[in-house]
Every structure is written in C-alpha cells, then in structure tokens.
Amino acid sequence: MTVLVFLDPRHPEGRIADAAAPALLATDLGATRGDGVFESMLAVGGQPRKMGAHLDRLAASAHTLELDSPDRGAWERAVATALSEHLLRAGTGEAVVKLLLTRGAEGSDAPTAWVSVSPVPAGARERSSQGLAVVLLDRGYDSTLAERAPWLLLGAKTLSYAVNMAALRYAKANGADDAIFTSSDGKVLEGPTSTVILAVEEDGVKTLLTPELESGILPGTTQRALFDAAEAAGWALGYGPLEPVHLMEADAVWLVSSIRLLAPVTSIDGTPISSSPALTEELTALLHEAL
Ligand SMILES: Cc1ncc(COP(=O)(O)O)c(C=O)c1O
C-alpha cells in the first residue's frame, strides 16, 4: 500500500500517481546513475515528524549535488496530499514518508520529484529494540577526506545507497544485524542507515556522544532532536572523534534513525558490550517528547 504524489507545476497540491503503474522515464538519471537525493521521515496519525529538519537536509543535499529542488512549499503540499490519501486508504498507522529528487530524464533540465508514503514495515522497530549485533566495516577512506574531496558528496543523502545496502547484506551474511562504518584512520563513522550514539557516565555527569560531522557522515535528524532534548534534560553532549574502544567501553550504544528510532547495540564484532534498558527507555521517552 504505497501512495505516490509527484511534484508537478501543473498540480500545485501534487499529482497523485498509481504506485503499481510505471511512472518514471527509463532515462531518468536517478534510475540510471543514482544521481539524486532523498529523505525518509516518520509520520504518525497522518502528521510528519521533524519535517522542517528533513526539508533542510534535503535542500542541503540538493545544494551539494548542484540540483534544483522545488521550493519548500511544493514539498509540504505534496506531503500533505500524500498523507491524507494514505490516511484514507490505510488508516492512521505509522507511515514512512520518502521525498525523492533526481536530476530528471537525460537531456531534460527538469528535475523529477516525488513523495511516497507507505506503512512502517511490521515488526522492524520491535526486532531492533531487542538489541543489535553489529559488525565494524571499513569504509576505506580517512576521516578528513570530506573536506578535501567535495565531489565524493560525503554528508549528502544521495540516492547512491547500493554500498550501504551491500554493507547491510554483508553484516547479515556474517551473522550480525547491522553495521557501523569505520574510517581508514580508525574512527567510528555511522551505520549504513543510522547515526551512532553512545552514553557514558563519569563523576555523576551523564554524556551523550556521537561522531563529528566533519568526518563526512550524514547529519542525523534523530540524533539532533535527541541531543537537543537530552541537553534540556541535563545531559552533557560531545562530538567525536570516537574510536571502536569508546564503543566497547561505553555504558550503552545505539543506532538511531527516523523510522527505527533508538536501537540498542548489544555486541560488536561478536563481543558483548554494555547496554542499558533503563537508558534506552529514558532516551526514547525524551525523543518521543521532542518529535
Ligand atoms: C547514512 C545514514 N546516517 C544516518 C541516518 C539517520 O538519519 P535520520 O536520523 O535523519 O533518519 C540515516 C538515515 O537513513 C542514514 O542513511
């Protein structure tokens, strides 16, 4: 049950399309080259969560790729159209809202832009809340590359996710549930579809830590919302650089993202690490309040 709404200047509220029928030209550069950007956000009861942060990141990704994006209002109207159509067809359950933007068909200078809404896959969050076995995978570049090599588009949410999906398959083929990328200089980066967060308590000070954006990771909207809420609740915050030893010695480690929210990591490369159901509960409650 997927609802598709194309952004189309002739349809200011967005043009609803049949998700079971062909809708893109086979020459669309998003399909042929992965040349485009996207966002995935959660909607609850027909209301998008953190839409402002997702639209900001979409605009930043589009800017990095020098892609023209429809204006914010056009995205907002298409999302509203797609969510009300999804409410009619599928009811009020949680939904995944994707915003997609490609460079358009070969030879045209018009980008292709659409919104899709589909139900959150059943059981995905419940399964990951049980705890994830994670493997560390080498991403093959050092943590200072982003600044030196802007053409690599590090930190943009591009449609070229084949590597991220391959990393997840590799993790699963090796008995794990998920992966954390590391840099060639030994720094912790991010998961293929998530941000890494860890908690440590020292001398009574509770701190949340995450890798620094300068290492070329995607700026996570869930991490940002959680950090803002945690800071207001008295937590200290820190931003990398982090190494695997910090994960092994933390009080708790999570992979966080918009759809799955906080997923506790329970082992790394087969070694059990400390986790804390109480902290997961506390931070999940803070995140729910913030969303
Ligand atoms: C590479 C990567 N890092 C982090 C995230 C988490 O981002 P957000 O919290 O905005 O969903 C994602 C989300 O899909 C991702 O693909």
Indicate if 148 and 262 belong to the same structural domain.
Answer: yes
* Angle separating helix axes 51-64 and 72-90, nearest 10 degrees: 130
Indicate if 278 and 134 belong to the same structural domain.
Answer: yes
Structure tokens at 20: 């079971």
Instruction: Give the list of residues 6+ apart from residue 285 with CB closer than 8 angstroms, or none.
Output: none
Pocket test for ligand 1, best of 157, 181, 197 (most atoms within 8 A of CB): 157
- The CATH number covering residue 151 comes to 3.20.10.10
Structure tokens at 7: 């952004």
Structure tokens at 84: 């009300």
Separation of CA 271 and ligand 1 centre (Å): 25
Instruction: Read off φ and ψ for residue 219, nearest 5 degrees.
Output: -70, 110
Alpha helices in 130-205 (DSSP H): 145-148, 162-173
Give the residue numbers spanning the domain of 110.
3-120
Q: Which of 291, 114, 93, 262 is nearest to 191 (CA)?
A: 262
CA atoms of 123 and 38, how far apart (whole Å): 24
Structure tokens at 226: 């959680």
Separation of CA 198 and ligand 1 centre (Å): 16
Indicate if 205 and 136 belong to the same structural domain.
Answer: yes
Indicate if 248 and 151 belong to the same structural domain.
Answer: yes
Among the candidates 69, 87, 120, a domain finishes at: 120
Half-sphere exposure of 70 (CA within 13 A, CB side): 27
Whole-angstrom CA distances from 132 to 67, 92, 176 are 36, 29, 8
Q: CA 22: distance to chain centroid?
A: 27
Indicate if 241 and 208 belong to the same structural domain.
Answer: yes
pLDDT confidence of residue 92: 82
Q: Which of 95, 78, 96, 71 is nearest to 6 (CA)?
A: 78
Q: Indicate which residue's Cα is closest to atom 16 of ligand 1.
A: 193
Q: Are 275 and 144 within 8 A, CB to CB?
A: no
Among the candidates 94, 120, 146, a domain finishes at: 120
CA atoms of 34 and 69, how far apart (whole Å): 16
CA atoms of 132 and 114, how far apart (whole Å): 33
Computed over every residue of the chain, the mean pLDDT equals 96
pLDDT in tens, 116-161: 999 998 887 888 888 999 999 999 999 999 999 999 999 999 999 9
Separation of CA 141 and ligand 1 centre (Å): 19
Collect the ranges in the chain with pLDDT lower than 70. Answer: none
Indicate if 240 and 215 belong to the same structural domain.
Answer: yes
Indicate if 116 and 178 belong to the same structural domain.
Answer: no
Domain count, the chain: 2
Indicate if 254 and 204 belong to the same structural domain.
Answer: yes
Indicate if 176 and 265 belong to the same structural domain.
Answer: yes
- The CATH number covering residue 48 comes to 3.30.470.10
Indicate if 228 and 274 belong to the same structural domain.
Answer: yes
Indicate if 166 and 266 belong to the same structural domain.
Answer: yes
Q: Which amino acids bring their CB within 6 angstroms of ligand 1?
A: 40, 190, 193-195, 218, 220-223, 256-258
- What is the DSSP code (8-state) at residue 275? -
Indicate if 141 and 68 belong to the same structural domain.
Answer: no
What's the burial of 159, exposed, middle or buried (CB within 10 Å: 0-12/13-18/19+)? buried
Among the candidates 64, 90, 120, a domain finishes at: 120
Atom of ligand 1 at shortest range from CA of 157: 16
